[in-house]
């Protein structure tokens, strides 16, 4: 009898210790039970470290819930409200978050591999140091979010809202950002090689040092953006708006700038060898010390543009500008190819 009493006492103590550990971890047994019963009103729930693999939480209200370290692998969170939720270190591998609201959510160090966040709201979300491999973000709203240093190579962000987002150092090689909104965003030192940015809004952006080799920027709005020392070799900028942009020291060799708007742009020291500037508007632009050798300036608008010490070796320029260039101090004036 005494032995049974001792055993029962020990079991009770052990159960109490386990429950205490659960509470110490921040997980509420009642909140977990609500989830298991299919409840969807879970705002402020304490589910830290909870096992929610393949959980059905479609359109659930998890605003301000603590899901840090939780296992949500394969969970259905379509249309869920996760505004202000803590998901630090959570496992969201393969989770369905289509149309979910994650505004102000804390996703630091979260695993989002293969997660679907199409059309989700991720306003002011910190995604730094997250695993974003094969993540889907088409049509997502990521304005003012932090994606610095993320690997998003080949991702589909067509039409996404990234206004004011921090994408510094991000790898976006081969990504589809067509018609995306990136106004006031930072893409400093980002890799955008072979990416599609046709029709994208990049005005007032920080693209200093970015790599945009063979990138499609046709019709993009890059007005008043800073692209100092950026690399745009072979890029397509036909019809792009670069008026007022800072392109000092930028590499633009073999780029297609036909019909581009470059009014009052800063192109001091830019390298534009073999660039196609046919019908480009360079009115008031500063091209001092720029390398325009073999560039095509046929039918370009160059009123009030500055070319002091610019290299025009074998550049194609309309004959009507000959007297204009006679007055300028340019290099290799004698090799300019004058065209009617």
φ/ψ of 17, rounded to 5, equals: -65, -45
Express each pLDDT in 218-258 by its tens digit: 999 999 999 999 999 999 999 999 999 999 999 999 999 99
**Helix ranges restricted to H, the chain:** 2-25, 29-36, 322-326
Percent of the chain exceeding pLDDT 90 equals 82
Query: How far does Cα 272 stand from its chain's mean position?
Result: 27
Using pLDDT thresholds of 50, 70 and 90, give the confidence band for residue 21: very low
Using pLDDT thresholds of 50, 70 and 90, give the confidence band for residue 4: low
CB 243 within 8 A of CB 227: no
- Please tell me the predicted confidence (pLDDT) of residue 131: 86
- Please tell me the predicted confidence (pLDDT) of residue 133: 86
pLDDT mean over 113-136: 91
pLDDT mean over 282-289: 98
- Please tell me the predicted confidence (pLDDT) of residue 27: 57
Q: Which of 26-30, 196-200, 246-250, 268-272 has the lowest mean pLDDT?
A: 26-30
First-to-final CA distance of the chain:
113
d(CA 297, CA 277): 5
Using pLDDT thresholds of 50, 70 and 90, give the confidence band for residue 128: confident
pLDDT mean over 97-104: 97
φ/ψ of 13, rounded to 5, equals: -65, -40
Nearest Cα residue to 183 out of 158, 170, 159, 202: 202
DSSP 8-state code for residue 328: S
- Please tell me the predicted confidence (pLDDT) of residue 74: 98
Q: Residues 200-230, buried b or exposed e (16+ Cβ, 10 A)?
A: bbbbbbbbbbbbbbebbbbbbbbbbbbbbbb
The count of C-alpha atoms lying within 13 angstroms of the C-alpha of 201, restricted to the half-sphere facing its C-beta, is 13
- Please tell me the predicted confidence (pLDDT) of residue 29: 57
Cα Rg of the chain, angstroms: 28
Count Cβ atoms within 10 A of the Cβ of residue 40 and give its class: 0-12 exposed, 13-18 middle, 19 or more buried: middle
- Please tell me the predicted confidence (pLDDT) of residue 95: 98
d(CA 13, CA 293): 84
Q: Which of 12-21, 56-65, 316-325 has the lowest mean pLDDT?
A: 12-21
Using pLDDT thresholds of 50, 70 and 90, give the confidence band for residue 340: confident
What contacts 2, CB < 8 A, 6 or more positions away?
Answer: none
Provide the token pair at 202: 């990049």
Q: CA-CA-CA-CA torsion for 85, 91, 97, 102, nearest 10 degrees?
A: 20
- Residue 3 predicted with pLDDT over 70: no
Question: What is the pLDDT of the chain when averaged over all its residues?
Answer: 91
């Amino acid at each position: 009898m005494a032995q049974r009493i001792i055993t029962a006492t020990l079991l009770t103590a052990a159960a109490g210790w386990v429950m205490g550990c659960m509470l110490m971890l921040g997980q509420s047994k009642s909140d977990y039970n609500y989830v298991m019963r299919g409840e969807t009103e879970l705002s402020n729930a304490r589910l830290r470290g909870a096992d929610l693999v393949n959980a059905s939480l479609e359109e659930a209200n998890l605003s301000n819930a603590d899901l840090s370290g939780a296992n949500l692998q394969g969970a259905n969170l379509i249309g869920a409200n996760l505004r202000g939720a803590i998901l630090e270190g959570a496992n969201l591998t393969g989770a369905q978050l289509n149309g979910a609201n994650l505004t102000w959510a804390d996703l630091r160090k979260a695993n989002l591999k293969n997660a679907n966040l199409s059309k989700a709201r991720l306003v002011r979300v910190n995604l730094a140091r997250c695993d974003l491999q094969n993540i889907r973000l088409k049509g997502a709203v990521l304005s003012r979010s932090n994606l610095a240093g993320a690997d998003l190579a080949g991702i589909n962000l067509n039409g996404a809202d990234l206004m004011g987002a921090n994408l510094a150092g991000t790898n976006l090689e081969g990504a589809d950002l067509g018609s995306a909104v990136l106004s006031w965003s930072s893409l400093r030192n980002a890799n955008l090689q072979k990416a599609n940015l046709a029709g994208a809004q990049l005005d007032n952006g920080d693209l200093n040092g970015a790599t945009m080799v063979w990138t499609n920027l046709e019709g993009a709005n890059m007005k008043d953006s800073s692209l100092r020392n950026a690399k745009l070799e072979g890029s397509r900028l036909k019809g792009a708006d670069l008026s007022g942009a800072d392109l000092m020291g930028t590499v633009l060799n073999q780029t297609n700038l036909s019909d581009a708007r470059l009014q009052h742009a800063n192109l001091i020291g830019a390298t534009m060898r073999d660039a196609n500037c046919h019908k480009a508007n360079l009115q008031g632009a500063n091209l001092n010390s720029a390398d325009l050798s073999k560039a095509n300036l046929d039918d370009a608008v160059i009123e009030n543009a500055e070319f002091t010490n610019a290299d025009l070796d074998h550049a194609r320029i309309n004959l009507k500008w000959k007297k204009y260039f006679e007055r300028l101090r340019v290099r290799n004036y004698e090799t300019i190819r004058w065209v009617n």
